[in-house]
Chains A and B, each alone.
Chain A
Amino acid sequence: MSENAKLPPLPTGTFSERAVAWSKKNLFDGWFNTLLTLGSIAFLVWLIPPIVEWAIINATLAPSIEACAEATGACWGFVNANLRLILFGTYPFEEQWRPLLAMILLMGIICGSLGAVKYPSLRKAIIPMWVIGVPIIAILMWGGVFGLTYVQNSYWGGLPLTLILSSIGVIFAFPFGLLLALGRQSHMPAIKTVSVVYIEVIRGVPLITVLFMASVMFPLFLPDGVTIDKLLRAQIGIILFTAAYLAEVFRGGLQAVPRGQFEAGDSLALSYWQSMRLIILPQALRLVIPPTVNSFISMFKDTTLVVIIGLFDFLGTVKLALRSDPAWTKYYVEGYAFAAAIFFLICFSMAKYSAYLEKELRKGEQR
């Protein structure tokens, strides 16, 4: 079928004629749809004006408790007054340029890596970017060298912590999940059993349990005086958990690749890893982009669970700010709305990127 045949016929008539025709076709098509349309309009009219009134018209941005007490709408002053606490948590106040810089650097590396699809020249830079970038981020966050004061990671928090937990989580969970998926397909019984048991056990428990075990049970089994960092334990928990889910996503992709492709690899006398790398995985991974991104989005949101083990991710620092002064506590709706907006922004960007990626990688199929 040619590309043009899919296009609708070109619209004719004046703008208002077209508008009427369009609404007739899409909004008032039969009594049921008419009813739905009118119902939706009524709902929006009922819903939107009060929200706008609360969030914008009657709201105040002034960072003072007094101004908020007077305002009849939202108290964005809460976010305004506590912005640095919300963004960076309990990281030492004078040193907060460090997590800011680390966050910008991390975003830069992530964008650079994602942009490689569009600009192939960036492809070779991906690995060096991460290899150089991650230690720089670690130095910025921890310090202790180059005249930077040492900052324990119990002080890390806010958006940098959320981004670090999720990006490091993705980087490690992806290859680990891939290995597990290949292990599950393997003909070697030992590897297959280990992979299956691992995947099923981890998928059988909620993340909150994994984190709780890592944080509360695990230290009890260590010898006296040996402690493993709380953040590291949480990070490993997240990686192990996400990898099990990704493994199942990848398995779906592997199973969707036609048998003949495996045989083609064999007939070319490629080794297992060669045929995986050159023939199978490029096809399998492309097939599973939507569920993979789905897993990433859900992992990104799951990082908020670290709050139960006393780490302050972005949502945790919002709660921290709410409790910084009892007078702010009642403005939790504003705090959570702000957190929701930031989370939406990030998750929506991920979803949009995945749609773009699918389109880019499918160009080969469009003839």
Chain B
Amino acid sequence: MKIQTILAAGAMTVAAVAAQNAQAGAVLDGIKAKGFVQCGVNTGLPGFSAANAEGKWEGIDVDVCRAAAAAVFGDANAVQYTPLTAAQRFTALQSGEIDILSRNTTATTTRDAKLGLTFVGINYYDGQGFLIPKALGVSSATELDGATVCVEPGTTTELNLADYFRAKGMSFEPVVIENINEATAAFFSGRCDVYTTDASGLASIRTQMAENPADYVILPEIISKEPLGPVVAQGDEQWSDVVRWAFAAMVEAEEYGVTMENVDDMKANSTNPGIQRLLGVSPGMGEALGLDEAWAYNIVKQVGNYGESYEKNVTAKLGLERGLNALWTDGGLQYAWPVR
């Protein structure tokens, strides 16, 4: 805890200095000068950011960085990746080692306000849940009094767990294990009664790691809100706008039904003024952001719309349905600010 306090204090000092020194557009100018976006990603979380067998980074978090690169350079591959641990991620952003942090990071007040960061969108709505063996005979998290719980340290997960049990007046015994493989192995070998992490993680662990997935259930209670999204450092509003709207364009493209496949056709033939604005047929949006008019066209053409990215990464790798991450028109929470 002490280290964290020191770190936070250090981070705040740096953030204050950085805010004074930074001029508008400094980060974006730097990115343009070096010719690529430096993107901080997870060291390995399938569906979000993980290296494939060829060592290439893939996932919906990776796609946000690719979209930003496509918007700035017209080339989604103009990205360099820095894998970061949970402890390093904010320092890397504050010190300028990376331009954008897209690493399943929960947006919270402290991070946004105190650490000098700007959350520019939410690309995955998650929440913390509980996975238990059916044999435990529990159907609700309120019956978990006295349970041993396997949990990974250093995340909001651990804090939420303590908050939830305290609020319900229940006790629990934490089994803290740093590594996800070991933590899940401990759970499936019966070392603890409950495994807790974000619901997306629970679903994939249940399908991929359990001998017989049907022997395990995810309890209905979701005990926390985990809005995960890309983060940039405060101080360059122009750059935060680019990332914010690059992601918004992906969602907006899905709303309009513009896909990687039909984007050329849409650009040539669509009479919908919204689509024409998005794809740069009627100019103005690119200019407003200081980008090429084809910025959103390049994103959709090279990265795909939000639904395609989700399908390709989260559904294919983790077998998760859209759920909260469906478009607002389908009862989900993904609601893009209008590009106009």
Which residues of A approach B to under 8 Å, CB–CB? 81-82, 84-85, 88-93, 96, 152, 154-155, 157, 212, 215-217, 219-222, 224-225, 227, 230, 307-310, 312, 316, 319-327, 329-330, 332
Contact = CB atoms under 8 A, between A and B. Distances in A.
Contact of B91 (A216, A312, A316): A216
B208 A330 contact: yes
A93 B85 contact: no
A90 B50 CA distance: 10
A93 B7 contact: no
Interface of B: 6-7, 10-11, 13-14, 17-18, 21-22, 43-47, 50-57, 80-85, 87-88, 91-92, 94-97, 179, 181, 185, 204, 207-209, 317-318
7 contacts: A96-B55, A216-B88, A216-B91, A224-B21, A319-B43, A320-B50, A324-B53
A49 B327 CA distance: 56
B83 A220 contact: no
A326 B51 contact: no
A92 B80 CA distance: 11
Nearest to A151: B80
Contacts of B207: 326
A310 B7 contact: no
Contacts of B83: 90, 154, 310, 312
A219 B97 contact: yes
Contacts of A320: 43-44, 50-51
Contacts of B317: 325-326
A91 B282 CA distance: 41
A230 B85 CA distance: 13
Contact of A323 (B18, B45, B91, B97): B45
Given A215-B88, A320-B43, A222 B95 contact: yes
A101 B227 CA distance: 44
A309 B83 CA distance: 9
Contacts of B87: 212, 216, 308
Contact of B56 (A90, A154, A215): A90
A205 to B, nearest CB: 13
A219 B95 contact: yes
B181 A332 contact: yes
B54 A84 contact: yes
Contacts of B22: 224
A262 B10 CA distance: 50
A154 B46 contact: no
Most A CB contacts (10 A, CB to CB) among B17, B46, B54, B95 go to B95
A85 B45 CA distance: 16
Given A224-B21, A310-B88, A326 B95 contact: no
B313 to A, nearest CB: 11
A157 B51 CA distance: 12
- List 10 tightest A-B contacts by C-beta distance, closest first: A323-B44, A219-B95, A90-B55, A93-B54, A220-B10, A326-B208, A326-B46, A154-B82, A310-B83, A227-B97
A324 B52 CA distance: 5
Contacts of B54: 84-85, 93
Given A323-B50, A326-B204, A90 B81 contact: yes
Contacts of A92: 55
